[in-house]
Chains A and B, each alone.
Chain A
Amino acid sequence: EVQLVESGGGLVEPGGSLRLSCVASGFTFSAFDMAWVRQAPGKGLEWVSYISGGSVTKTYAASVRGRFTISRDNAKNSLFLQMNSLRAEDTAVYYCAREIGYDANANYNTYFDSWGHGTLVTVSS
């Protein structure tokens, strides 16, 4: 059974940093692309960042680019999100998700077939 367990959330002051972790089990972690998705209070889901299986490709939403860094340690089946210069608008539940990509209609499409339960990040003074 695929399991994704996030940790590392908490309360941090504006301008501070936090590192989220996600430990995966039940599948060959290195063979899959991964992503972080967040949900701010009362808002919908927002894609945050993506990393390919071998860490060659990393992408970020415009709202976090230059402040957040995604990484992974395939030997430890772990995904990370280093969050710096945090803002109040970064307050959200952060989910790690396994991403499946495929080609169709001349496009590269993706979806998330497994998700963790999330970890809450609160940015407040």
Chain B
Amino acid sequence: QSVLTQPPSVSGAPGQRVTISCTGGSSNLGADYDVSWYQHLPGTAPKLLIFGNTYRPSGVPDRFSGSKSGASASLAITGLQPEDEADYYCQSSDSRLNGDVVFGGGTRLTVL
């Protein structure tokens, strides 16, 4: 049972837009902790996509965007491409865990 809740799976056709939600509570996202997002293909190093709710590291396409409102956050991917098929994780911190890092359970994105 992850502290941050994500849908197990989402899907979309090439070129479409998909969103992945991340729902927390009053001790993490609702307590104004920022959220980050990662892309992970099995057997590879996870890749940072979004930090500080909305910021993209250099090299991450602007097809990826993040937002946060209250205890919920979202990752949006526009212009879906086959290579976007991967697992996506949100991450924040939790005051009930002394500020320790918490991850969402992950969402598998399938490009149809």
Give A contacts to B, CB under 8 Å.
4, 35, 37, 44-47, 50, 59, 61, 95, 97, 100, 102, 104-118
Task: Find out whether the CB atom of B101 lies under 8 angstroms from the CB atom of A35.
Answer: yes
Task: Find out whether the CB atom of B47 lies under 8 angstroms from the CB atom of A111.
Answer: no
Task: Find out whether the CB atom of A106 lies under 8 angstroms from the CB atom of B32.
Answer: yes
Give B contacts to A, CB under 8 Å.
2, 31-34, 36, 38, 40, 43-48, 51-52, 57, 87, 89, 91-93, 95, 98-106
Residues in B whose Cβ lies below 8 Å from that of A50: 100-101
Task: Find out whether the CB atom of B45 lies under 8 angstroms from the CB atom of A44.
Answer: no
Given contacts A44-B104, A47-B100, A111-B36, contact A118 B45 (CB under 8 A): yes
* CB-nearest residue of chain A to B92: A109
Task: Find out whether the CB atom of A45 lies under 8 angstroms from the CB atom of B52.
Answer: no
**Can you list 29 A-B contacts with CB-CB less than 8 angstroms, sorted by A residue number?**
A4-B45, A35-B101, A37-B103, A44-B2, A44-B105, A44-B106, A45-B38, A47-B101, A50-B100, A50-B101, A59-B100, A61-B100, A95-B45, A95-B46, A104-B34, A105-B32, A105-B34, A107-B93, A107-B95, A109-B34, A110-B93, A110-B101, A111-B91, A112-B38, A112-B46, A114-B48, A115-B45, A115-B46, A117-B45
Given contacts A107-B31, A107-B93, A109-B93, contact A59 B98 (CB under 8 A): yes
Task: Find out whether the CB atom of B33 lies under 8 angstroms from the CB atom of A107.
Answer: yes
Task: Find out whether the CB atom of B99 lies under 8 angstroms from the CB atom of A45.
Answer: no
B26 to chain A, nearest CB (A): 13
Bound form: Cα–Cα A18–B104 in Å:
28
Bound form: Cα–Cα A61–B100 in Å:
8
Residues in B whose Cβ lies below 8 Å from that of A59: 98, 100
Q: Which 4 A-B pairs have the closest CB atoms?
A: A105-B32, A111-B36, A44-B106, A47-B101
Residues in B whose Cβ lies below 8 Å from that of A114: 48
